Amino acid sequence: MSSPSSSSTPSPYPAPHPTNSLLLAYQVRTRTILLAGGGPVAASRLYHLLCARPKKLVLFAPDNEDIDDEFRWRVEGESEDAKKGREGIEIEWRKQEFDPTQNKEDLALLDGDEIDMVLTAIPNPTLSTKICRLCRARRIPVNVADVPPECDFYFGSVLRRGSLGVMVSTQGKGPRVAARIRRKLERAIPENAGEAIENVGQLRKGLREIEKGTGKEAIERRMGWMIRVSDKWSLAQLGEMDERMRNEVLAGWEKDEARGYWDVNRGKYGGLGWLASFASRLGVGTCPVVKDPDGSAAKCPFVMGSTGFVLGAATAGAVAAFWMRRQ
């Protein structure tokens, strides 16, 4: 039985960090989202909404010269890219201001059960506040661009690479700094991280086709094997995993073998790949200290430390030998 811990005992678990928001990846596939505004901020919201692929978007913005170019391109652009960006999403552009305080039809939209989320990016704080109140009274989550108390959720600074998404949130304290941190992360994340994730997704899909079980035992075996395989591949190697490699990795499932990159690329470098496969089994080439598939021996603190020591000793020895010969 556990006993209440005294204040002097260190807590065994991390204390909840009071960030006051739940960071989630919200699925909107079946949702309808209303966006009011047609300026640059609305265009940026629209981009993120299109990435999320909701069922339907209801856009409100008068069709005049204030419409942001990107906004118009995303909604009406005729190029293949513009069309592809909105493929499968029903978009209804109501070319008028959204004003549920004056327009009964607009209010009826909020009263109905169609709208799941409301975003406003309009230069009218008084109207925004009223829209916010109407939404909250109807339990519709709302975001008023740049008015933190009127946001049930904040937009963050987001970086996307294929299926990989990273959001930086500062709880409204420093959005420009959030963007700077996002750019720093963009540089730190390997170029092909997106492909690596797509390929892992394909591998997991393939595995579930071989082992379809939904029982506890099947799930545990599937997860255990997947963890062992994932840990054998660096991000760069995962980014290279094609159908052939995937099939060879999956062929290891029956034998309970977790095959790494070199195990399925033995023919590489004129057949010398087998040497790398053998070496990787002995742990050569990976960092023995930081057990990280992306930590190569070249960056390993142990290997670097001992190499430094050997080089230092060799230099000292050479200097001493030279000095003694001169005596």
Ligand X SMILES: NC(=O)C1=CN([C@@H]2O[C@H](COP(=O)(O)OP(=O)(O)OC[C@H]3O[C@@H](n4cnc5c(N)ncnc54)[C@H](O)[C@@H]3O)[C@@H](O)[C@H]2O)C=CC1
Ligand Y SMILES: C[C@@]1(CC(=O)O)c2cc3[nH]c(cc4nc(cc5[nH]c(cc(n2)[C@H]1CCC(=O)O)[C@@](C)(CC(=O)O)[C@@H]5CCC(=O)O)C(CC(=O)O)=C4CCC(=O)O)c(CCC(=O)O)c3CC(=O)O
Hey, which residues are catalytic here?
Answer: 146
Give the Cα-Cα-Cα angle 167, 138, 148 (nearest 5 degrees). 40
Applying CB under 6 A, the span of 25-33, 121-129, 200-208, 291-299 interacting with ligand X comes to 121-129
Measured from the CB atom, the residue of 67 and 203 that comes closer to ligand X is 67
**Helices first, then strands: H and E counts in the chain:** 12, 7
Partner that binds at residue 155, options ligand Y, ligand X, none, CB closer than 5 to 8 Å by kind: ligand Y
Q: How many CB atoms lie within 10 A of CB 302?
A: 12
Measured from the CB atom, the residue of 61 and 300 that comes closer to ligand Y is 61
Applying CB under 6 A, the span of 16-24, 100-108, 118-126, 221-229 interacting with ligand X comes to 118-126
Residues 40-79 that bind ligand X (CB under 6 A): 40-42, 60-62, 66-67
SS3 category, 122: coil
Q: Which of 176, 187, 212, 216 binds ligand Y (CB under 6 A)?
A: 176
Residue whose tokens read 């709880």: 171
Q: Which of 70, 97, 99, 146 binds ligand Y (CB under 6 A)?
A: 146
- 115 scored as a contact of ligand X (CB under 6 A): no
- Assigned token pair, 323: 């000095």
Q: What is the spatial distance between Cα 57 and Cα 84, in angstroms, rounded to a whole number?
A: 16
Partner that binds at residue 36, options ligand X, ligand Y, none, CB closer than 5 to 8 Å by kind: ligand X
Q: What is the spatial distance between Cα 110 and Cα 113, in angstroms, rounded to a whole number?
A: 7
Residue 293 · residue 233 · CB < 8 Å = yes
Q: What is the spatial distance between Cα 258 and Cα 230, in angstroms, rounded to a whole number?
A: 9
In 3D space, the residue among 294, 298, 318, 323 whose CA is nearest the CA of residue 308 turns out to be 298
Q: Which of 42, 67, 109, 151 binds ligand Y (CB under 6 A)?
A: 151
Q: Which DSSP string do the residues of 199-254 spell out, in sequence order?
A: HHHHHHHHHHHH----SHHHHHHHHHHHHHHHHHS-HHHHHH--HHHHHHHHTTTT
Measured from the CB atom, the residue of 49 and 207 that comes closer to ligand X is 49
- 97 scored as a contact of ligand X (CB under 6 A): yes
- The number of residues that bind ligand X (CB under 6 A) is 22
Using CB under 6 A as the criterion, what x/- string covers residues 133-172 for binding ligand X? ------------xx--------------------------
Measured from the CB atom, the residue of 40 and 267 that comes closer to ligand X is 40
Measured from the CB atom, the residue of 128 and 286 that comes closer to ligand Y is 128
Binding site for ligand X (CB under 6 A): 36-42, 60-62, 66-67, 97-99, 121-124, 127, 145-146
